Amino acid sequence: MNFPNIVCPYDQNLLQRLKGYGIVVRVSGPSEIIQAAAASKASTRNNLLNVIVESREAMDAFKFQDEWLGIPLALFFPEMGKFRKLGEKLEQIRKLKAHIYLPAERDENLTSCRILSSLGITSCLAFSQDKAPNWDSLADLMTYAVFGSVAHAPLEPFAHIRGNYEAKQYADWGSVCFDNPRGYLHVDARGRVALSKDELAQGIFIADDIAKLKNPMDCPEYAERTNVRKRFFLEDHPCTRCEGWKVCLGNFMRDGKPVDGCREFCRELLVALEQKKQTQ
């Protein structure tokens, strides 16, 4: 198998240790973007995929910089903020080709993602393990993303699901938010390896040193967690009896259980994907 990409903090010593990986660097603030990108590109045979910035301020208050041009940016905001304040920055954001991430559990962010997408800015919904989204509003946004006749920028995860959907295959879209161990492993400054950002924060590691993890499939925890189908079916999990399983794979669960509304939403998503496929 191809080795998963690495999500890691901006730490020059760590970046020098990493060799031959796809790198996603998480910085503590926008002031580190240029240095982190330069250090990642200078590290041995690594390929810089993204620089992640998690801002506590709304998108309309964020100071975008022309100097970031050419750096692949994944910018997480709690909300878009006031559109009239953001308007003067739109052309700059489009030039930067930044991907904007907003929490899906906030109703106003579903509207904001549609606005940003319509303006040519790639928007991505980040789903929380703490609170489910408004399923009706999410279904409306999904319909726009799948069927929208007016040109718009990708609206994730729906663009990814639509682009990878096949009736007899499973669509796993966790990688859109760097949350899929088949696509991304999370590494701390000491080189310890976790399967997700949450488990990294909790100190749950599958390896003490990324350099020693030559083949992740040799690690039982990794092999079990990445074989989602086998794990869920062996447990006879209720999600496996949902017809929308192939486009969810448990990504909408909360505390290991399906939540009210997710089954109906996934059914709608499946129907939309089939209808879209028939018109292509």
What letters, b where the CB count within 10 A reaches 16 and e where it falls short, cover 66-103? eebeebbbbbbbeebbeeeebeeeeeebeebbbbbbbb
pLDDT digits (tens, 9 = 90+) for 180-209: 999 999 999 999 999 999 999 999 999 999
The whole-number average pLDDT for the span 93-117 is 96
CA-to-CA distance for 242 and 244, rounded, in angstroms? 5
What is each CA distance from 174 to 57, 102, 197, 252, in whole angstroms?
25, 15, 12, 10
Q: Exposure of 231 by Cβ count < 10 A (0-12 exposed, 13-18 middle, 19+ buried)?
A: middle
- Is residue 137 pLDDT above 70, yes or no? yes
The pLDDT-based confidence of 105 (bands split at 50, 70, 90) is very high
Q: Determine the Cα–Cα distance for residues 92 and 143; give it in Å rounded to an integer.
A: 28
Is the pTM value of this prediction over 0.85?
Answer: yes
Q: Supply the pLDDT for residue 130.
A: 78
**Nearest to 139, CA basis, from 274, 10, 261:** 261
User: Does the pLDDT value for residue 280 go beyond 70?
Assistant: no
pLDDT of 250: 77
Those residues whose C-beta lies under 8 Å from the C-beta of residue 269, and which sit 6 or more positions away, are 139, 142, 158, 161, 244, 247
The confidence score (pLDDT) of residue 168 equals 60
Q: In what order do the strands lie in the sheet with 184-187?
A: 155-156, 123-126, 99-103, 73-76, 47-54, 22-27, 5-9, 184-187, 193-194
- What does the block give as tokens for 13? 């010593």
Q: Which comes out higher in pLDDT, residue 95 or 233?
A: 95
CA distance 159 to 15: 31
Structure tokens at 158: 């729906």
Q: DSSP letter for 130, please.
A: S
Share of the chain above pLDDT 70, in %: 97
